[in-house]
Structure 1
Amino acid sequence: PNEGGLSVYGTNVLMNVTEETSGLPARNGRYTSTEDAREADASIPEEFDAERVSGENVRENILVDEPTCHSCPVACKKEVETSIMHKGEEMNVRTESYEYESAWALGPNSGHTDRDEIAVMIQRCNDHGMDTIEAGNIMAMAMELTEKGKLEDLGDGIDWGDSSEMIDLLERIATRETELADHLAEGQAHMAEAFDGHGSTLTVKNQAIAAYDPRCMKGMGIGYATSNRGACHLRGYTPSAELLGIPEKADPYEWEGKGELCALFQDMHAISDSFDICKFNAFAEGIEEYVKQYNGMTGLEVSEDELMEAGDRIYTLERYYNNLNGFGREDDSLPARFLDGEGSVPGQGASEGEVCELDPMLEEYYARRGWVDGVVPDERLDDLGIEVGPGTGVSRGDSAAPADD
């Protein structure tokens, strides 16, 4: 194909886009872009620049092949090859995994933008079966805790942007080789408890956020908060509308209507995920195409409304399961630095002064879902034909939900 941003640059086409909109969390989400970080802190070097790890830069300098999934019309996969000198040793890497989220987590969010060292880190994570988003986020948290002096009992910790040390620390985390690495391997929730780091976590339901700043993209904020598996950007990918204008443009900084938008995307993605359709192909499709595909595959004749209800049922069933395990509104949260109030860090640059207006979006979202404080009432289970389990014991008339009863 080689037409359109995803085909030409892969997922990393988004790096410059989020940088320019001040929607790229940098240095553990303290800043809303690398430029915003440089302007706020004179000690941050000029080479801390997201463009250096962008899809455009990667294509120009280290791209070697463009393999793709069978018959895919998007062909977003980009294979890179590079080598670095690491502590006197030449390290060569060839990988197909230089993705936007990985490059962000192991780069700008960790305080550096060394394109080639990021490739080595990505491959190291792949070799050890480590998630790159979680790995990059735990690195950034460790850097912030080091700066605050909270890791002194574990030795030197790790400084902002120390990409050389990151390469080695990833290996040590995988093997739990040192005391610091052993703690980091337990994740952000453990680090928060063990080292008084609650103010330095970027997690929802103990899963780390991705490369979309909720101070800029309010729909992603409500999406992180209400994702049933934690801060997942793929369960309700509102940046499709907020950044890319698909299916239509939505103002990323406007919170009103984002609860409705988020629920719509979640239901649509529940359908496409059930079809096992890549989201990049799903961008070009809507409920009309899904109905044709489903009816063609099954021989049934479901309507658009019936298929959308199936998406709603899937998402609600997941939430019901969470409710039965004690999850409620208090878990539909965001890190304090993204919100108004204690610990808030408002956005900068194009997102100057912005925070994520989570509470009013939650009210809008729950109303759209028919939930009560994040809990599915028994009447809603009946509406959707969900007949498994004991029910939540919550009624539509309740003002608070005893999700852990």
Structure 2
Amino acid sequence: MDECYGRTGTVLHIDLTTGAATPEHPDGTVYERFLGGRGLAGHYLHPFVDREYTDPDLPLLLFTGPLTGTESPTSGRGTILSRSPLTGAVCDGSIGGGLPTRLKKAGYDGLVITGRAPAPCGIEIDDNEVRVVETSLWGQDTDAVLHALERRLPEDTSLACIGPAAENGSLLASVAVDHRHGGVRGGLGLVWAAKNLKYLTVRGTGEVRVHDPAALVEAREAIVRLTMASPVLMGGHGFSHWGTGALFDLINSRRMLPTDNFRKTWFDQGAEVNAAALARLYKPRDHGCLGCHIRCRKIALDGRSLPGFETMAHFTADVGNADPEAAMEAADLCGRLGLDPVSAASTLACLREITGKDYTDKTLISTLRAMAEGGDLAAGALNLAQACGRPETAMTVKGLELPAFDPRGGYGLALAYAVSTRGGCHQRAYPISHEVLRKPVATDRFTFSGKARIIKLAEDAIAACDSMNACRLIFLAAGLEEYAKALTAVTGKDWSVQSLLEVGERTTVNERRMNAENGFDSTDDDLPERFFTEPGTSGGGVDVPPIDREKFLAARRNYYWVRGLDENGDPTADTLQRLGLDR
């Protein structure tokens, strides 16, 4: 085998039906075309993407990238990917903590997990030793599981598990990683449960080989200098100081904070639940992923994680709650039950609009518990709204609940939501960067002009980032030019901005191809009707009208053209051939 730099050259296939663990050594061209992370995971998903989540042959994929485990900044990321039980679309989650780094140091670029164990089980990886073991932890919440594992495993072991929500069949089930680093949406925790997989532990003590360590140090220093000079990331009002909750006041002042299930875009009581209010109440300390200098996670004195912006915004403004402790308790409970907090809160907001009943601190918690036990609430906002005969109350795209940014406040955001391959998600293109944070350059947030090309290029850049497995947030300061130098130093292959964008384009088009094979088309690349017919909350010198539907459709057509899609939103034969996806 050729020398491997930045990769181990091994993908481990684990069949839970038999307990067999089989290494595969992919051809080098596969790594060059898909790089790692989200791109490489998508490559492995494609042959099975039409399988239901209950099918043992549907793979659960966990992949690192070529920068994972190196000195490249924020490289301690990984990707969990499969077909979403909630939406039926391709879905991934970017995970942090120490798990991706330790998987790479154990000798694996990724895991392909198939089959269904005959009894609840865990996968335990300790360098080259891989065990599938029966477990008695089924039924316990994520905190109990992770603490039980920590008591018997070496300290340098990383852990991931599901909670009761997945075991009870909730389509909103998430995955807990190293206590504070999950954030997996789309019900991917339910894929674990369908395989009878309760937990995964990884310990790796090896080293990731780097082709040119001196060049990596130089690239690292350039990236760190850029991040240290970034007010958004490292400033006194930035993510390093406040966590992503730093966005709360800004988004509220821009009149784009989802309030009362997106019926309003301004929360009057925002000052009671913003980042400064949480800091006064909970005196948080800093926490971050392995190898990250930004440290955007915040931990309260009582050990609970402070919610990130999207979770806090949805458990306050979107559900009509101004009690920060109720929101803290709700977010913490989601973590323990293994619920995606963004989807859970959005489903609560949908229920509140349908019933007309406000939440108290007690009913907020009791409804979340019911959500983790199954039934209509466990099926997400769209299924709940349809069951109640009120489909217009579901604020979803492709069945995935929207995060805490109202699309009437940013038209690039509106387009990005609609065309996102995993559904209602801003992180596929992160237009908040230029429409709100003004990075790298400011754009007019109330126009579709130029947004089709901007969204396409941003999707490609973020897909490349997810395939390298760097943190998306760092791209508010550094760019692909700096990371191309880091990747070249690590792998010994000459990477450029253009070659990284090509990987990102291939990754995104592959996802659209898989969605098309599962019946998605242009009718799914759309927004809830509310955004085209109802205004947001104007004020503070900001007018928030409904989105002009004709202009939105024109922008979507432009996006299809620059993306190389046909009028149905499917990749054309020429696009597939150009990207080598027609094989």
2:354 match: secondary structure: helix
1:70-114 Cα shifts (integer Å, max 9, x gaps): 342212111124xxxxxxxxxxx6312411111111110001121
Deviation at 1:161, TM superposition (A): 4.2
Q: Write the deviation string for residues 165-213 of structure 1: whole angstroms up to 9, x where unpaired.
A: 111111122124xxxxx21111122213211121100000100000111
Match of 2:178 in 1: none
Q: Which has the higher helix share?
A: 1
Does 2:546 match 1:348?
Answer: no
Q: Which residue of 2 aligns with 1:360?
A: 554
Match of 2:300 among 80, 101, 119: 80
Aligned: 1:27 with 2:260:
yes
Letter paired with 1:137: S
Note the alpha carbon deviations across 1:277-305, whole angstroms, 9 max, x for none: 11122222212112212212221113322
Checking the alignment, whether the CA contact within 8 Å between 1:216 and 1:354 is kept in structure 2 is no
The 1-side partners of 2:287 and 2:521 are apart by 43
Q: Structure 2: how far apart are the matches of 1:354 and 1:193?
A: 24
AA in 1 matched with 2:400: Q
- Alignment check: 8 A CA contact 2:382 2:394 kept: yes
Note if 1:326 corresponds to 2:519.
yes
Number of aligned residue pairs: 344
CA RMSD of aligned residues (A): 1.6
Instruction: Find the aligned partners of 2:576 and 2:371 in 1 and give their Cα distance.
Output: 43
Secondary structure at the aligned position of 2:379 is classed as coil
Match of 2:563 in 1: 369
1:54 equivalent to 2:274? Answer yes
How far 1:259 sits from its partner (Å)?
A: 1.4
Correspondence for 1:268:
461
The match for 2:485 is 292
Give the letter for the 1:203 counterpart: T
Structure with greater strand share of residues: 2
Distance 1:114 1:351 in 2: 28
Give the secondary-structure state (helix, strand or coil) at the position aligned to 2:332: helix
CA distances 1:299-350 after superposition (whole Å, capped 9, x unpaired): 11133222211111110111011111111110001011112xxxx2112212
| Residue pair 2:258, 2:314 contacting (<8 A) in 1 also | no
Contact 1:101-1:133 within 8 A present in 2 as well: yes
**Partner SS for 1:113:** coil
3-state DSSP class of the match of 1:185? helix
Contact 2:252/2:267, CA 8 A, preserved across alignment: yes
Q: Contact 1:291 / 1:303 at 8 angstroms: preserved in 2? A: yes
Tell me the TM-score normalised to structure 1 length.
0.82
Which stretches in structure 1 are left out of the alignment for 5+ residues? 36-48, 82-92, 148-158, 177-181, 389-405
In structure 2, the residue corresponding to 1:187 is in which secondary structure? helix
Q: How many Å separate the matches in 1 of 2:525 and 2:518? A: 14
Give me the whole-angstrom Cα distance separating, in 1, the residues matched to 2:435 and 2:284: 32
Share of identical aligned residues, percent? 29
**Equivalent residue number for residue 283 of structure 2:** 63
TM-score, length basis structure 2: 0.57
In structure 2, C-alpha distance between the alignment counterparts of 1:131 and 1:324, rounded to whole Å: 26
Amino acid at match of 1:15: F
**Secondary structure, in 3 states, of the residue corresponding to 1:376?**
coil
Aligned residue number for residue 392 of structure 2: 199
Partners of 1:363 and 1:338 in 2: CA distance = 19
CA deviation profile, 1:28-76 (whole Å, cap 9, x unmatched): 00001114xxxxxxxxxxxxx1221111211222123212223422121
Q: Distance in 1 between matches of 2:453 and 2:526?
A: 17
Q: Check if 1:7 corresponds to 2:216.
A: no
